[in-house]
Structure 1
């Protein structure tokens, strides 16, 4: 077997990487951004490699990848399944696998505490690949921090040159991150990118789409042909901001992105339907009665009457985002708005309700990916050639 050094040249979808005691740890935010916020939720989210994949060309029929995953365990909730690795050969899904072992991060939702325990490196193995020169992609688990330890193949490996496809840079919340999707290639952004024929950089950051300036600067400084930002739900979840601050913060976020991408098509997407927060402010809180039943659900802990004092709901946010984009678009012909309920709305909620009252399930991710691709990448779509 050939052992190939794991280097950044083999990575797609990561904006930074870290050499650890075990190997290579991909990051989705650059080091400067990471140093500007000590929030453990953000640190966990950005190190989970949603949209990150190893890409190489080889004639190998057997591929082995050693990794050290970090798996989340929620106190009082049944164990989550191990993260999924998807194998694509020449762009086609060919296999999937999981890695046993790894570190564990135990989270107590009742206290907000975290406990980290070290565990062993595990091995992912794919066999029976075609005995031809081919492009191989291994998509890393979207919901497990993953240190890459060793890559072994039964034929040499080389990096894949730029395929000339447009780069789509997307930022959003845990829904964009892929929470409750079945696998890394079936998060809604990954599905939409595949249908649109674009290279995805996914900055969906669970719990962390909070209009942070360092995130805006990351978008500003990342080369991209198409950019979308899905804003709103995390601001309600965290009860972080009032209406007075929200509008100027959105303007500032978009101004920063435009500093680096003055003419790039830029799409602002408002929240999908989330019944608990349509007209009720945050914060979101765990439903402890559901924890006692061994499942995790959320509730809206705010009071609808508080919107009069400037608290944010999803309907308030959608109205404000639509106004901001409409006014800015008078001078920015490459700025667009998409109501998130066009991706998942009331009819979808009746058919495919949010299992935990916040996050879409695997079937809803597929529907959202198809709808986004149709609205953004199809002929005449917001990101189609010639669209302004």
Structure 2
């Protein structure tokens, strides 16, 4: 009887221990789930695929940098979202899934952001390259025209035909401003050079953008640049044995024999600082337009075909821009007709630069209405 009682007691003890042991993993799982649920959810909306090698790729690199720098955030993204009404649906769905910060990364998402933001006042929305704001909506962009000017110097020093091709997306101030800055850079070192513009009315259409570059090469261009999200124009230049200037990210991998340099975006630090401010409760709606001194815009490394004297020339001018000694849109500046638009010594205001609707002297092409 004692043996039976002892056996029963031992069996009960074993069950209790097993029960206690079995509870521990559940407690740990609960803690993990709680930690996961406490992460700040952030969503990114891209107009193109993250593999475009350009605009959306650069933003996605910034998203990854954000995750590395702030571990207690959980990010997600939706790629290839059409601009217009469909983007409103996508942004709404992302908010409904619990995302508290939305980064909408294309100009055409602006109206959708404003509409959705009105319905969700507790969510913060950051819209890239737009101009409409609200209490919970801010805008952000970088002064890419500064980097564009520097790449113009490289192109102006490289061209032999004095014809440079520019494959342009849409005739909006952002794109026009980049064309003008690039042309001013070109003509600062080569007053005889012309910049020919072809519009594609696309952000991401590899075939159309490559064909546009081909038409410029056939028209005599020996350097091609672009405001597009694909490396198609770069590849077109390489196939013809000509040179190119990349955009958005370092495009030298796509056309190593052609790419002289690229005007590049570095979104990561901005995303980190913005999320930190929101987490700390110090963020307020604003319109951020970061200069080269913030490193949000920069140049990619030079290709081996760029001479040292050109590198030095560009670096000197870059330092002048960073220090504030030189401003790209400082007069005298004339338009295509020869009319003076900016007087000598005068600097264009941000408002004027953000509403560009005319080309500077040296640009060949028209601005569709």
Superposition TM-score, scaled by structure 1 size: 0.31
Larger Rg belongs to: 2
The answer to which structure has the higher helix fraction is 2
* Length-normalised TM-score, structure 2: 0.32
Structure with bigger strand share is: 1
